[in-house]
A and B are shown apart, each in its own frame.
Chain A
Amino acid sequence: MTADSKSPVRIQLEDFSQDEEIRALQASSTRMGGIATFLGCARDFSEGREVSTIRFDAYDRMALPEMQKLRDEAISRFGLLDARIVHRLGEVRAGDAIVFIATGAEHRAPALEACRWLIDELKQRVPIWKKETTPQGDAWVTPHP
């Protein structure tokens, strides 16, 4: 499931470095004039309850290929020079990073639009579920629009 650490699309248990991902994206083309990023984090409060940790379940066979398709589609649809997507699994604590998306284009507009599109599509199309641990018990997260 987990691709090598240099792959532009990865699912991994360990944390990631935003700086390394942006450096790798930037190194892919000197024509890149704009880079947009999205960082999704674990909140410590959800649906009126304190959240200490989040655990993930994923359909491994489908999750990574879907993320790779999303990257390919975004590059084609928005004319990106490159894009990177990293999603964590396992258990994360409140405040930890969950997902990182970086998009690079010649100009800012396609980079920004593609970044928004990618996180929205990821939430719709990549089979990953998260469960929050709260003082009232564990609860699967209901998707937010």
Chain B
Amino acid sequence: MINVLFFGPVAERLGASHLQVAFRAGMCVQDLRAQLQASHPEAFALVSLAAVDGEHVRDWSLALSDGSEVVFMSKFSGG
């Protein structure tokens, strides 16, 4: 399974802070985004950043592993 986390405005619009998605061999970050965006378009309209296992995603073609933790995030507003 892929553990998908949401925070702040994305979590609020989605109505959840955590989802689990079945892992498929060869799956990348962009595949997961496209899958979730189809079912949650309003929340994903805010998404501009992602992280995998606590690291910023620079390349959305990054391959995922079974058990990966993925976060889809809106722009940050700390500080």
Contact = CB atoms under 8 A, between A and B. Distances in A.
**B is a partner of A:** yes
Interface of A: 40, 56-59, 61-63, 65, 87, 98-99, 119, 122-131, 140-143
Nearest to A63: B78
B54 A123 contact: no
Contacts of B5: 59
Chain A binding surface SS class: mixed
B79 A59 contact: no
Interface in B54-79: 54-56, 69, 71, 73-79
Interface stretch (B7-15, B27-35, B36-44): B7-15
Interface residues of B, number: 20
A99 B79 CA distance: 6
Given A57-B8, A59-B73, A128 B78 contact: yes
Contact of B7 (A59, A124, A141): A59
Contact of B76 (A40, A61, A119, A126): A126
B79 A122 contact: yes
A140 B8 contact: yes
Given A61-B69, A63-B78, A142-B75, 17 more contacts: A40-B79, A56-B78, A59-B71, A59-B73, A62-B55, A87-B79, A99-B78, A99-B79, A119-B79, A123-B76, A123-B77, A123-B78, A125-B76, A126-B79, A127-B73, A128-B76, A129-B78
